[in-house]
Amino acid sequence: MKIVFREIAKETHFEEPVKAMEVDLGHAYTAHLEPTVLEAAAAPIPGGCRVSGSFPYTVSVPCSRCLSDVKLSGEARFRLHYYPASAAPKEEEAEIPLEETEDLYVDQDNVTGEELVSQQIYLEIPEKVLCKEDCRGICPECGADLNKGACGCPAAADQRWSAIKGLSSPRKE
């Protein structure tokens, strides 16, 4: 699926299966998206093209502490206004900061289904995802997953001993 903005003369609907893909979220953080179906509509607007749509998603992303896979699912919805890059307002003219609007000023004259899906996944997935609230992460010394138990490294052992000391000290007196 490719929406060529200038070819959209009337509201046009698209439905396209999207293959599994990897979405780079930055900082070596990648989301694995399961196959889905994108539904979109494009319509002409003064000076540009409106592209709106939605798709259900399921992605696996690494836990930001222990790197185990975390599955997230939801429904992404978008409504974007594409204008040519040459029409972009100068900073002092823009009343609202550009990043808070869904107005996009782009050099390319089209957008593909894959681009729409990867852009929305990038926006939907939080920067940090935890497999559980109290994930213990991995040992900085040996890389062991501390959710599966202590690894025996001095740093991890120290924490364990101080916790036991804390519990037993009132009983000494």
Minimum CB–partner distance for residue 128 and Zn ion (Å)? 11
- How far, in Å, CA of 15 to CA of 70, rounded? 28
Binding mask 80-119 for Zn ion (x = CB under 5 A): ----------------------------------------
Among 33, 65, 117, 118, binds Zn ion (CB under 5 A): 65
Upper half-sphere CA count for residue 159 (Cβ side, 13 Å): 10
How many residues sit close enough to Zn ion to count as binding (CB under 5 A)? 11
Stretch that binds Zn ion, among 13-21, 30-38, 105-113, 150-158 (CB under 5 A): 150-158
DSSP states along 56-75: EEEEEEE-TTT--EEEEEEE
- How far, in Å, CA of 107 to CA of 85, rounded? 5
Query: Considering the rule CB under 5 A, would residue 131 count as an interface residue with Zn ion?
Result: yes
